[in-house]
Structure 1
Amino acid sequence: MDIYFDCGSGISGDMTLAAFVDLGVPVEWLRQELARLPLDGFDIQESVVSRNGIRAKKIDVIDIHGDGDDGHAHGRHYAAIRSLIGGSPLPERVKQIALAAFEKLAKAEAAVHGVPLEKVHFHEVGGVDAIVDIVGAALCVAHLKVGKIAASAVPLGSGHVTCRHGVLPVPAPATVGILKGVPVYGTNVDCELVTPTGAAILTTLATEFGPMPAMTMEKTGYGAGTREIAAMPNLLRLISGRFQTAGAADGHADLMMETCIDDMTPEIWGHVMERLFEAGARDVYFVPVHMKKNRPGILLCVLCDKAQREALAACILSETTSIGVRYYPVERIMLARRPVTVKTAFGPVQAKAVTLPNGTTRIAPEYEACRKISLERKVSILEIYRATADGPVV
């Protein structure tokens, strides 16, 4: 299944764990798996609560020691947490996710406090509850066999929060560091909506951020935060289902970036195209246009994924004479395709097998493969194209 994180009220570690449980992860199974960690004196407690009339699950990590740190009253160093998780008998995928999340936390803390990564000492996130939240989230992802994860833009609270370092602004400095590159927006809610642990889990799991992608929804899970917030239901919503992909003739959202240029030497255009492809463009093309004062010019069109917008805009503005770029969302309909090798009289040739809307398959030869054979054999590239289109797939 695929999952969309709807973070309308922010995200924390316990909200994430609760939402996964509400989505279908058995809490008893989760308790048994977490018991494999070399941690003593904790338990997890499940309850059902209501937030603004919406039923949700809540998960509390119970510290039997009563000091909040599993006997580690002063937290743990990053190296200790890494050893604790890495040396556990948990599945490799679970350990990889959990270690990646803690690495994000460690890097953010190292930057904030100006210390080397290995010397980062966790306080709030070094306790048993944060370890359980992060490892528990990784266990849930593995249990549900989650494929892709996307997330909404993240709302940030305001005001101040008190921690062992003293009074800090909201969002906390570590949270800000972890959320770099993630779309966020401010609110007037006077509390912490996103914790460092929640930010680390989210940025480790989600591969894209923005509006809900085209998907077939199946189930919804609600995870409640501890606070009652008058302005909004303090809930994290997980929506599971299947994202539409390029594996069928489905819509795929992208951006089109454009700019018109009439004062650049033609010699540079080839270089610009190469740099744009290197920067992640899906497609680049030039269209002749007539601009103001009837000047002939070129309309530069760049198709790209939303995540590549900033990099490609920087490339356009530094590699051309343009002083501005416009962009807008576009949608594509893409046919299913897969790489194949075709047997021909010229040897094996790489191609794509494209499935048409009526279910039939068309072979599309790969240009570079055909060009290489053409130069080596001194044969017309058209002959190689024809032989590949009509040949049997190996």
Structure 2
Amino acid sequence: MKTAYFDCIAGASGDMLLGALLDAGLQEADLRAELAKLPISGWDIRVRRVDKNCFTATKVDVLVSPQPHSRPLPEIERVVRESTLSDAVKQQALQVIRIIAAEEARIHGMLVEEVHLHEVSGEDAIIDIVGTIAGIELLGIDRVHCSPLPLGRGFIQGAHGSIPLPSPATVGILKGVPIVGSPIQAELVTPTGAALLKHLSSHFGELPAMRLDAVGYGAGTWDLTIPNLCRVFIGEGAGDLKFDTDTVAVLETNIDDQTAEEHGHVMERLLEAGALDVTMTPTHMKKNRPGVILNVIAKPEDQPAMRELILTETSSLGVREQNMQRSTLPRDCIRVRTQFGEAIVKVSHLPGGAHKYAPEFEECRILARKAGVPLRDVYVAAEAAARSVHEGAHGHKH
């Protein structure tokens, strides 16, 4: 499986990701041919070699005509929808734009469709997003991994005045993504860079084992006290890397003196607090009392919160805890269109190149109720659409 690992030495932005891919072997002519499929005129990209603290890297500048201060989301999406890009690239680009739009809507307390975007209002941002996604496809990359993202400090000037770094949009987008603090007084991770890496990456962490075939350095605009670079490693994943692995905390306790209503409440509280999974297994305990075994799987950093909830929300006097290694299928999400509406589908990558498709239950349930059709009909339509978009575009196995 061809794997790309983005090592975000000094963070990430759209132009840095593009520069890294070009430096690693993406052909400029091929990239230009893909970008020409956008219904945009008067643009150009300038690709040049620069030095960053004695490192030679590729710098990409996207040149466009003067841009509006902000644009409504539907207008930005129209540019992508009316392009002649492949369906896979279109869908992924729209998902990245929606990630940014959803966070802006949350910050400003409005509906996503009403958002006027500042960060990706210009055609240069659209080119960054589409170019990066198309570049991944052109290089034949099957899976993307990424390092934890460093976040700088300070202030920048935004549409509404001074904004503290990391910006609220970037922070919101990176929920669920590993981050580290940096003493650098600069914007190291932009909303565009954050949204691209969150969407593209199936795993954040250390460099995975691979047979290294290429490495590329993409340069940022500013000169910093550290090399302002984002680096990409590209190679064939090792044979044992058909699964993603991470560490989870497993907490367990026995309960024999609480009601079913209390069990439901405890499960709900644990999931709201970030538990990855909560199960209750019927059992018989001492004195032949019926009870349940409460089992919670969580991220290691959430272990203290899970422990506290179990001890305060149940009658238990103790919790059994251990850290375990978990293997999961590499996966990503795509948004597809069906005759019932749009739905998100999880795509899991099986060993050997096959895939499994799992439509998102809540969205399918809502669509089924609106259309007055069986839930299964929506599931089948969403899975078929995902298979067509994902496997048809990439030529993967069914």
Shorter-chain TM band: 0.5 to 0.7
Displacement of 1:266: 11
- Determine which of 87, 95, 99 is the counterpart of 1:100: 95
Aligned length: 315
Aligned equivalents of 2:220, 2:102: Cα separation in 1: 26
For 2:360, the equivalent position in structure 1 comes to none
Change (3 A) 1:264 1:168: same
8 Å contact kept, 2:174–2:198: yes
Displacement of 1:90: 0.3
8 Å contact kept, 1:182–1:209: yes
Alpha-carbon displacement from aligned partner over 1:270-321 (angstroms, at most 9, x marks no partner): x99xx79x97669999xxxxxxxxxxxx999877887997998799666783
TM-score in terms of structure 2 length: 0.67
Aligned equivalents of 2:297, 2:240: Cα separation in 1: 16
Q: Secondary structure at the match of 2:163?
A: strand
Displacement of 1:124: 3.5
- Determine which of 73, 80, 105 is the counterpart of 2:75: 80
8 Å contact kept, 1:280–1:312: no
**Largest Rg, 1 or 2:** 1
TM-score in terms of structure 1 length: 0.68
Change (3 A) 1:86 1:258: same
- Determine which of 215, 218, 233 is the counterpart of 2:227: 233
Aligned equivalents of 1:207, 1:234: Cα separation in 2: 24
Alpha-carbon displacement from aligned partner over 1:64-91 (angstroms, at most 9, x marks no partner): x3x2x1xxx2332110111110121100
For 2:364, the equivalent position in structure 1 comes to none
- Between 1:142-151 and 1:314-323, the stretch displaced more is 314-323
Displacement of 1:117: 0.8
For 2:358, the equivalent position in structure 1 comes to none
For 1:26, the equivalent position in structure 2 comes to 27
Displacement of 1:247: 7.2
Change (3 A) 1:39 1:324: farther
Change (3 A) 1:300 1:115: closer
For 1:112, the equivalent position in structure 2 comes to 107
For 1:14, the equivalent position in structure 2 comes to 15
Q: Which amino acid aligns with 1:223?
A: G
8 Å contact kept, 1:313–1:325: no
Alpha-carbon displacement from aligned partner over 1:211-269 (angstroms, at most 9, x marks no partner): 22333332211111011111x21111111123346677x9954435355x57756999x
Aligned equivalents of 1:23, 1:80: Cα separation in 2: 33
Aligned equivalents of 1:49, 1:188: Cα separation in 2: 24
For 1:220, the equivalent position in structure 2 comes to 215
Aligned equivalents of 1:76, 1:256: Cα separation in 2: 44
Change (3 A) 1:321 1:239: farther
Q: Secondary structure at the match of 1:207?
A: strand
Q: Which amino acid aligns with 1:115?
A: M
Aligned equivalents of 2:169, 2:244: Cα separation in 1: 37
Stretches of structure 2 lacking an aligned partner (at least 5 in a row)? 282-291, 330-350, 352-398
Change (3 A) 1:302 1:84: same
Displacement of 1:331: 7.6
**Aligned ranges for residues 182-331 of structure 1 at < 5 Å?**
182-230=177-225, 232-244=226-238, 252-255=245-248, 257-258=250-251, 261=253, 321=316, 326-328=321-323, 330=325
Aligned equivalents of 1:325, 1:198: Cα separation in 2: 40
Aligned equivalents of 1:310, 1:221: Cα separation in 2: 40
Q: Provide the alpha-carbon RMSD of the alignment.
A: 4.1
Displacement of 1:36: 1.3
For 2:44, the equivalent position in structure 1 comes to 43
Aligned equivalents of 2:102, 2:303: Cα separation in 1: 25
Q: Which amino acid aligns with 2:7?
A: D
Alpha-carbon displacement from aligned partner over 1:96-136 (angstroms, at most 9, x marks no partner): 11100000010011111122111111224211211110010
Q: Which amino acid aligns with 1:55?
A: T
8 Å contact kept, 2:119–2:192: no
Q: Secondary structure at the match of 2:120?
A: helix
Change (3 A) 1:241 1:322: farther
Aligned equivalents of 1:204, 1:253: Cα separation in 2: 19
Task: List structure 1 segments (4+ residues) > 4 angstroms apart after TM superposition.
Answer: 244-248, 250-253, 261-268, 278-285, 298-320, 322-327
Q: Secondary structure at the match of 1:126?
A: coil
% identity of equivalent residues: 37
Aligned equivalents of 1:242, 1:322: Cα separation in 2: 49
8 Å contact kept, 1:149–1:205: yes
For 1:129, the equivalent position in structure 2 comes to 124
8 Å contact kept, 1:21–1:57: yes
